[in-house]
Structure 1
Amino acid sequence: MAPVKVMDDYKVYNAHPSKVEALIHRLFASARLDLTQIDAKGKDYDPSEWFMVPLEEVQKGIELIVSGDVIYYNYDRQQEKLVPAEN
């Protein structure tokens, strides 16, 4: 596999990191890449943590999680941005 470039880093306080990760995955699920990669040994790998989301939208998503307002937003894949959830 190719090296990864870390684009941003967050510290999690007063919350379970895996729960924060689950919120991020749910928020950006519509932008998850649907692909299979074959490693150097020929083994298939289906990455579940790769998303096509602008960094600015990820940062907004983190802010929404921290504020608790994430429940009022969805990620619109076509617009490539977080939008208010429709009731």
Structure 2
Amino acid sequence: MSRKSDRKRVRKELVATYELFNINRTKLENLLHRVFSTAKLDIEVKNRFGKPSVPREWFLVPFHAIDTAVDRLKDRSLVNYVYDPDIAQLKLRKAN
């Protein structure tokens, strides 16, 4: 049995798209990582060479929370929020 036949086929499906304009992609990515850090998936997978890899950009977040985050991006208030996995939604972050 070849190595290729051992791999499972994964069905991919596009579930949503968003259009955002005039946003620095690096800052956006950093902000999304901070907001959703509590929902980061803790998993180790093997890459195509069989070496263990820990994905840093996989999050377990419901679509409604993503929709809310996009709305907060548009009104520029997302910096004031964090994702709370216990209630599965964004909440205002505590002042430092």
TM-score by shorter chain over 0.5: yes
Range that drifts further, 75-84 or 4-13: 4-13
Q: 1:59-70, aligned counterparts within 5 Å?
A: 59-70=67-78
TM-score of the aligned structures, taking structure 2 as reference length: 0.77
Counterpart contact for 1:23–1:65, Cα < 8 Å: no
Identity of aligned pairs, percent?
Answer: 26
User: Of the two, which has the highest radius of gyration?
Assistant: 2
Report the counterpart of residue 35 of structure 1 in structure 2: 43
- Cα distance in 2 between the residues matched to 1:48 and 1:5: 21
Shift, 1:40, TM fit: 4.1
- In structure 2, stretches of 5+ residues that fail to align are 1-6
Shift, 1:3, TM fit: 4.5
The one-letter code sitting in structure 2 at the alignment partner of 1:49 is E
The one-letter code sitting in structure 2 at the alignment partner of 1:5 is E
Counterpart contact for 1:72–1:84, Cα < 8 Å: yes
- In structure 1, stretches of 5+ residues that fail to align are none
- Cα distance in 1 between the residues matched to 2:72 and 2:51: 37
Shift, 1:84, TM fit: 1.9
Q: How many residues align?
A: 87
- Cα distance in 1 between the residues matched to 2:55 and 2:14: 16
TM-score of the aligned structures, taking structure 1 as reference length: 0.83
Range that drifts further, 12-21 or 49-58: 12-21
RMSD value over aligned CA atoms?
Answer: 1.8
